[in-house]
Structure 1
Amino acid sequence: MKKSHSHLQTASMQQEQAAEEIVIAGAGLAGLAVALGLHRKGLRSVVLESSPSLRTSGFAFMAWTNAFRALDALGVGDKLRSKHQQIEGLNVLSSATGEIVQELDLRVQGKRGPHEARCVSRNELLQALEEELPSGTIRYSSKLVSIEEDGNTKILHLADGSTLRAKVLIGCDGINSVVARWLGLAKPLDSGRVATRGHAKYPDGHDIGPKFLQIVGQGFRAGMVPCNDTDVYWFFTWSPSPNDKDADQSAAAMKQFVLTKLRSTKVPNRVLEAVERSEMNDVLAAPLRFRSPLSLLPFAGVISKGNVCVAGDALHPTTPDLAQGACAALEDAVVLARCLGDAILGNGGDGEEERRVEAGLRLYAEARRWRGVQLTGVSYVVGFVQQSDHAVVGFVRDKVMSRVLARMVLMMPDYDCGTLSSSVHRTGE
């Protein structure tokens, strides 16, 4: 028995001493996209996921032009297009008057090519990314809890008591990122708003046109958009009051809360019907948090340090008012895989690999810093204006600013993160 125990202990120590080249914390959109980008570059990575399987909460998200450019770079764009219909237009409706205050064609030509928008199933996207990765890339039930240094190697302590050594660590571990905390990035702030989301099924098909409807004003912001012929995604954000504290106790209570709010306004019946027949998200109500754009400025925020960096929500958590959180995470993945891949493969200049890796991650950080500042700052302001129930703000929004706010929805996706090849290095403006 002692001999067996000694043998197991020795094997465990040998396993801990062998360092993985690249470890990615988090198997969400950012983590799997980074892993796939590196795989396309010919590099192996290990993805640590705290859950026992892929997490699919959230149902769907709007994937705009910039997201599909990133997905095309990763080689899965057409796979997603085949399952999700293209959204042709955006209608912005005032909940106070029931009038459409702005209409946009979402198929117009942008500075870098035609626009594209589809409501993409989060589960479908995660599966598409996972299917392209080598077997064994994702290690489930592996939650990162702390990091320590051993020279240039990072020792990763997991929740089950085991450790893993990493030569490169990439934090894609979400808004409560352990890696972002280790880098010293500022804690995300509470926006004072809360969101719930739902998924309405129409087994026999729906007659909702291929348009994204946004509803603004009177203290809430809502939206509804079809994913395909049978699935419709909707969201509802509001600033909670003490009277709202019991709304998230059950799916039935949350649906009733949303319906009560919507029925007090002039919204179309098809919106109410979608909420009534919907399945609610596992997380009934989630606070909307964001990282202050000021904390990402060069003198304030460290996005990369040595052989460690962050991407996705671990870098730039943002309110959903521009529907750009997931899209920006996919941009991050392509830029990071290109910069890091080129560095490791020796295309990042002369010198030892450690120095090239550090330079590659710095290049990534600087390419993404100002994009993060822009997205988090503008999204917060847009959300504040669109949701406000202040009479003056509402008047200016509906009569003066509606066109500007709607155009902002098209301006942010008009961005090209480039390809995985260093010969085509377009990181937008």
Structure 2
Amino acid sequence: MSEVKNSFKPMESKPKPILIIGAGLAGLALALSLQKLSIPCTVYEARPKDVRLGGAVMLSPNALRVLDTLGAYARIKSKGYQFETLSMETDERIPMGTYYFGSEQMYGYKGLRIYRRELVHELIAMAEEAGVHMEFEKKYKRVISESEDNIEVEFDDGTIIDAAMLIGTDGIHSQVREYLAPGSKPKYLGQTAIAGAVKTSNVSLPADYKLPVSIAGKAGVFILAPQDIDGSELLAGTQYAVPELTYAESRAISSNPEKMIEMLRRDKADWSELVQSAMENMIPQSMYIWPFYAVPKIESWVSTHSKVVIIGDAAHAIPPTIGQGANQALEEALGLSILLGKGNHVGDLEKWTEHRSERIASLMEMTRKMNNNRLPKAQRDALEESQFWKPNKERPGEEMRWLYEYDVAKELHGLGL
């Protein structure tokens, strides 16, 4: 487990704070890490502290290593479902391979599927215990000015703050990104996930059935994954090629559970009894849709004077297919804090973000291939084998080492940072 070491030497008796916009996973992890380095920071979140957070996140060893460094892993590991592999098979139960989400023996950690609300609430509690200043229902508006010495930031309520830096962890529809790359809107990728929860006992599972599982059928791929501590509840869902929804259309569908269940059951007749039993027993209030978006590659995640930085979904947004969005955001939160703790040397942030961009590009290519794995059978049959993600059959799990063995501090050292 790597340690966050403090080499931050403020030049002022009362240094200006770093402003973090967004109290999601990246923002909270960044704040905790900066606090350990005695670097003053404040987290601002537009939503209420008790906002309802739906769904679960998949944490793989690369992110759990970060949370371990911050002292969070011990507090959350018993609050989610721990597992190592996902089985891939056809709807006729023909094995297709194994996808590793973790392995204590190979990568040091099992995978952990945990409700987003549990994880965020635990990180907020840790931030409060550590004395991190946080303000909720306070919305970032704009950067007034930026120089080599400081940055002035305005909020919707008229507050103006003179700060050391502004860091955007405000998600795929980031307002901070607009300052760095005006007009860089997320691009719809043509696929939308439709999913929710179902009680495990209500699904017609064979006695020897191994979960989690991805089931490839005529209509695409259907996922069943335990997401409660004891596995008593399953994530159940699929993804479809659908036209992009307007904001109003998305809101209307998201507020109509029965409509989402109807969408999920669109190709019900093409699935086995097992999948049909999940479709028939979805918990209405658990339903959600997740359109797949990506952020177009922008020139830099760092402003001219290095006073504004974006990370996580604000910078790159990875579709949820391989479950790496939250994991990459946590890697970047720790990496950025370590860099800032060493002092912001000219070119360091640019060098680090270039490294991060290369890693994200590799994950986007992996995501593209995995999305091909999940196409309807007729479309899958039209593609060459090289267009699909494939496991290493000779050495299972080896194909994931580059992703899961990533150690933030060691990577920075290897970059000379």
Fold in common (TM above 0.5) = yes
Which stretch of the first structure deviates more once superposed, 190-199 or 360-369? 360-369
Distance 2:331 2:176 in 1: 19
Residue 92 of structure 1 contacts residue 215 of structure 1 at CA under 8 Å; is this kept in 2? yes
Structure 2 CA distance for partners of 1:397 and 1:269, relative to 1, 3 Å: farther
Taking the TM superposition and a 5 Å limit, the aligned residue runs for 1:296-315 are: 301-305=299-303, 306-315=306-315
Q: Name the amino acid aligned to 2:356.
A: R
Residue equivalent to 2:233: 231
Give the TM-score, by structure 1 length: 0.77
Residue equivalent to 2:349: 361
Shift of 1:276: 2.0
Deviation string 1:63-86 (CA, Å, 9 cap, x unpaired) is: 111111111111111222122232
Structure 2 CA distance for partners of 1:41 and 1:20, relative to 1, 3 Å: same
Residue 84 of structure 2 contacts residue 103 of structure 2 at CA under 8 Å; is this kept in 1? no
Residue 56 of structure 1 contacts residue 122 of structure 1 at CA under 8 Å; is this kept in 2? no
Shift of 1:173: 0.6
Distance 1:397 1:73 in 2: 42
Distance 1:99 1:205 in 2: 19
Give the TM-score, by structure 2 length: 0.79
Distance 2:98 2:110 in 1: 16
Q: CA RMSD in A?
A: 3.7
Gaps of 5+ in 2: 1-13
Taking the TM superposition and a 5 Å limit, the aligned residue runs for 1:77-96 are: 77-95=73-91
Which stretch of the first structure deviates more once superposed, 310-319 or 401-410? 401-410
SS in 1 for 2:28: helix
Deviation string 1:335-394 (CA, Å, 9 cap, x unpaired) is: 111111221xxxxxxxxxxxx3654533432332211222223213321x1232262623
SS in 1 for 2:342: helix
Residue equivalent to 2:271: 265
Taking the TM superposition and a 5 Å limit, the aligned residue runs for 1:234-249 are: 234-240=236-242, 248=254
Deviation string 1:85-121 (CA, Å, 9 cap, x unpaired) is: 32132111335x45332235656578x7345212111
Taking the TM superposition and a 5 Å limit, the aligned residue runs for 1:33-112 are: 33-95=29-91, 97=92, 99-104=94-99, 108=103
SS in 1 for 2:390: helix
Which stretch of the first structure deviates more once superposed, 151-160 or 397-406? 397-406
Q: Name the amino acid aligned to 2:236.
A: W
Residue equivalent to 2:152: 155
Q: Name the amino acid aligned to 2:119.
A: L
SS in 1 for 2:138: coil
SS in 1 for 2:213: strand
Q: Name the amino acid aligned to 1:75.
A: G
Q: Name the amino acid aligned to 1:124.
A: E
Deviation string 1:172-197 (CA, Å, 9 cap, x unpaired) is: 01111112121117432110111233
Distance 2:411 2:187 in 1: 39
Identity across matched positions, percent: 22
Q: Name the amino acid aligned to 2:96.
A: V
Gaps of 5+ in 1: 1-17, 344-355
Which stretch of the first structure deviates more once superposed, 38-47 or 150-159? 150-159
Distance 1:217 1:332 in 2: 37
Alignment partner of 1:416 is 2:406 = yes
Shift of 1:125: 1.1
Deviation string 1:208-239 (CA, Å, 9 cap, x unpaired) is: 97732123454544322112213333343211
Which stretch of the first structure deviates more once superposed, 231-240 or 199-208? 199-208
Distance 2:324 2:70 in 1: 18
Residue 232 of structure 1 contacts residue 274 of structure 1 at CA under 8 Å; is this kept in 2? no
Alignment partner of 1:285 is 2:289 = yes
Q: Name the amino acid aligned to 1:137.
A: H
Q: Name the amino acid aligned to 1:279.
A: Q
Residue equivalent to 1:222: 222
Residue 84 of structure 2 contacts residue 100 of structure 2 at CA under 8 Å; is this kept in 1? yes
